[in-house]
């Protein structure tokens, strides 16, 4: 189990850019095809922008055509939490960082069938790529 990070909203506002805050703390979504990592092919680990928790590997990233970075698995079970999301009159599964509760995106069951069958559809703004060579 991951140890939780607790900060006040003012502490989060000081740490994050306004766009990062809107997405990870207020459960926002970036515009499709606007994110830094949508078409990125760099090797590395995608970490939570708010707390640095490792979340996804470039080895599981794939081109879904949806406009957001997509992954078919997480780096380590327990690093993300899945939460029922009924906002916008939809039934979805929200993906959050297990350490700091940052909103990352959503997971869907239309990913690569030869892998997990999952598509973690994640906002670029919620991620920071840590290259493998560092």
* Catalytic residue IDs: 121
119/105 Cα distance (integer angstroms): 10
The backbone region for 67, taken as left when phi is positive above 0, alpha when psi lies in -120 to 50, beta otherwise, is: left
- CA distances from residue 36 to 20, 32, 49, 54, 67 in whole angstroms, order as listed: 13, 11, 13, 18, 11
113: helix, strand or coil:
coil
Q: What are phi and psi of 29, to 5 degrees?
A: -140, 135
Is residue 44 within 8 A of residue 11, CB to CB? The reply is no
Among 65, 86, 82, smallest CA distance to 74 is for 82
């Amino acid at each position: 189990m991951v140890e939780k990070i607790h900060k006040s909203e003012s502490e989060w506002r000081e740490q994050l850019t306004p766009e990062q805050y809107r997405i990870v703390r207020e459960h926002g979504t970036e515009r499709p095809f606007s994110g830094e990592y949508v078409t990125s092919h760099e090797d590395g680990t995608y970490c939570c922008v708010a707390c640095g928790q490792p979340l996804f590997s470039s080895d599981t990233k794939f081109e879904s055509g949806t406009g957001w970075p997509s992954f078919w698995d997480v780096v380590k079970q327990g690093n993300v939490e899945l939460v029922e999301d009924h906002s916008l009159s939809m039934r979805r599964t929200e993906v959050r960082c297990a350490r700091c509760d940052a909103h990352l995106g959503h997971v869907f069951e239309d990913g690569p069938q030869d892998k997990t069958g999952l598509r973690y559809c994640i906002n670029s703004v919620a991620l920071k790529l840590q290259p493998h060579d560092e």
